[in-house]
A = this chain, B = another copy of it.
């Protein structure tokens, strides 16, 4: 036998000899109920195994406690890490993540589904179509945070790391360690993240009267990154260092260099990339990389969302999280640097 009639607040009210309102207030933090009444109600609720119905609450209070997260794919470990941490933090505040996978040209479809669930907030982490989606959500009065990409004109908030700074740091570090022919493997060209990283690198090189030695596009994907590596290392005078726009691509680049082109790292080529995904620390790669602090980004996202939700008002702001270099073993160090790092 199964419980076929779900227990409602009315059942609890009856059992406790109070009104339905009292039950509701008991389960609403901050509402006015006397301790005695609350105790009676809690007891009755426990006895009946009552669980408040979040859907009904949403309808009447206009707060779903659901945050939508729009993704395009999860094969790069960066986003799973984000989903994991973000979901946990939100859960502690009584919110939950609902996933929407979107890409290509089904924006309208995605939008309809997004808007249907009366979301309290939206996190956009999908590579494409962000700006249209953001605009429509804001129109519908839903706070939006663009995660790891910046808002081009939309009234949406954004959380990014300081990618320009990161690019600069990567470039300077390579220069300091005596590299001269520095190549760049780009992510998707339409992503702000890629643009900023490349701009920072270019600036660092310019300060030393250099420019990007060779360049190819990897689109944040493994196969494209491998092709990019081949292209960049074809011909004479190959680069002595490569900056790669994401760890995920860097793994492909390193694999290609080692197993296809027979180079050693960092003996023949140095590699620096971005993200500091867990695998970057694995002995097989020991990747020197620009750290995006997922924790800081997640907590910024949470704050941005919750503040707007509580204030019942959309206030867009852009949070830029600082980034730093994590030195491992994929860059050949100059003797001077080695001493410095040792001390």
Contact = CB atoms under 8 A, between A and B. Distances in A.
A53 B64 CA distance: 12
A283 interface: yes
A168 B247 CA distance: 36
A83 B98 contact: no
Q: How large is the interface on A (under 10, 10 to 19, 20 to 34, 35 or more residues)?
A: 35 or more
Contacts of A58: 55
B3 A116 contact: no
A96 B97 CA distance: 11
B282 A255 contact: yes
A81 B260 CA distance: 27
Interface string A254-272: 1110111000000000000
A340 B71 CA distance: 43
A34 interface: no
Contacts of A84: 71, 73-75, 101
A4 B141 contact: yes
A206 interface: no
A118 interface: yes
Interface string A63-84: 0101000010111010111011
Contacts of A52: 116
Contact of A54 (B116, B259, B279): B116
A98 B100 contact: no
A233 interface: no
A293 to B, nearest CB: 17
A75 B82 CA distance: 10
A255 B278 contact: no
Given A258-B283, A284-B285, 12 more contacts: A4-B141, A51-B116, A54-B116, A55-B117, A73-B84, A75-B278, A96-B100, A96-B113, A251-B282, A256-B283, A259-B283, A260-B283
